[in-house]
Amino acid sequence: MRIGLRYTESMSSQSRDGPASTERLLFEPLSAEHAPLLFHALDDDRIYRYVPTPHAVSIGELKDYFGKLVQGPGEDQSQIWLNWALRLSASGVYIGTLQATVLADREAWIGYMISSAFWGQGYASEAVAWLIEELVRRAGVSSVRASVDLRNRRSSRLLRRMGFLKESTESSELHGQTTMDGHYRLAVAPKARGSTE
């Protein structure tokens, strides 16, 4: 089942006015060409402590990884992968990435990675707030979900501040260790198609 075709077309490329933005951030649709621009921001062991994302040790590895994200889920037409590079609007510095997977039931799973040099400054909250609004407005999602290693207190606090509720926990394994994941959900009211309010 193909979903959100108009949504992917509108979100997969920048508008004529440039990338989407908030007060402090620019959101550029991710491409393999972002690898050299984001490598130093993401070459940071602290980022990968609580996530399964592979730590690319070279620009080439990061370029390959970004390429796979851009290609999407292949023949699986029941979901859409959306990815952005995060950039500071004031300085132009790239600080991380933002992801969403939109499913056929209009649920979306989200994720984010931000260089530890920029933690504690509200950038993740700003990015996630923008993403939720975009998913509601462009894809009509009814709920947004995130899965977080419960040792990752920063992300858990962020989700709770934004109104996410922890619905369940699940035993998992990460980097050879047994861990516990928290599954969070935020119910949202989808806007009518074409609404710009």
Digit-coded pLDDT (tens) for 7-64:
444 444 334 345 899 999 999 999 999 999 999 999 999 999 999 998 999 999 999 9
Model pLDDT for residues 71-108, shown as the tens digit of each residue? 999 888 889 999 999 999 999 999 999 999 999 999 99
Contact between 123 and 24 (Cβ < 8 Å): yes
CATH numeric code, 5-187:
3.40.630.30
Between the alpha carbon of residue 121 and those of residues 20, 24, 34, 124, the distances in Å are 20, 11, 23, 8
pLDDT for the residue numbered 1: 30
DSSP label of 72: T
124-178 pLDDT, tens per residue?
999 999 999 999 998 899 999 999 999 999 999 999 999 999 999 999 988 888 9
CA-closest candidate to residue 131, choices 3, 22, 23: 22
- What are the φ and ψ backbone dihedral angles of 151, each rounded to 5 degrees? -75, -20
Local confidence band at 67 (pLDDT 50, 70, 90 cut-offs): very high
Q: What is the pTM of this model?
A: 0.86
